[in-house]
Amino acid sequence: MRLSSAEAMEAFGLTLGERLRAGDIVALTGDLGAGKTTLARGLLRGLGHAGEVPSPSFAIVQPYEPPAVRLPLAHVDLYRLEDDAEVAELGLDEWLHDGALVVEWPARLGAAMLAHALAVDITVGDDGARVLTVTVPDAWGKRWPFQ
């Protein structure tokens, strides 16, 4: 999938947010500035969030709770974490009982969570457009609206 503007990226995220369910993990990979936070911003709009969506680079976990959003969501950025133990301390799996996760720099999430995730890898083309490669897990089944 090729998306040539930040607006198109947000619109794609919005579609995912509208279809998101408790237990879902959306894993966003791609270089610095690829557009991960932009996609997450759209996803939060699709969940009903109307306010700002700051990058979680410093907070690491940015929580969103109903009624501002349709279901609890943690927007996570693991870029600055040094090891797997630090990730374990975040207790991210707690969110999955009644909520979902959108994770930037997800490499340290652990194999079980990664295997279950909707994985979106973003690369930047020569013309600046973003090319998205999506791995759709069984959990998304018929919810996946694209080819």
Residue of 32, 85, 111, 112 interacting with ligand ATP (CB under 6 A): 32
d(CA 35, CA 12): 12
Q: Which of 8, 81, 96, 134 binds ligand ATP (CB under 6 A)?
A: 8
Q: Which of 30, 46, 99, 106 binds ligand ATP (CB under 6 A)?
A: 30
Q: Note the residue count of the chain.
A: 147
Among 13, 35, 46, 106, binds ligand ATP (CB under 6 A): 35
Distance CA(23)–CA(112), nearest Å, equals 13
Helix (H) or strand (E) holding 112: helix 111-116
Q: From the CA atom positions of the chain, what is the Rg in Å?
A: 14
Phi, psi at residue 93, to the nearest 5°? Answer: -65, -25
Q: Shortest Cβ distance from residue 32 to Mg ion (Å)?
A: 8
State which of residues 8, 18, 23, 55 lies at the interface with Mg ion (CB under 5 A).
55
The answer to whether residues 57 and 40 touch, using CB atoms and an 8 Å cutoff, is no
- Closest residue to Mg ion using C-beta atoms: 37
What is the contact surface with ligand ATP in residues (CB under 6 A)?
3-6, 8-9, 30, 32-38, 55, 57, 104, 128-130
What is the contact surface with Mg ion in residues (CB under 5 A)?
36-37, 55, 104
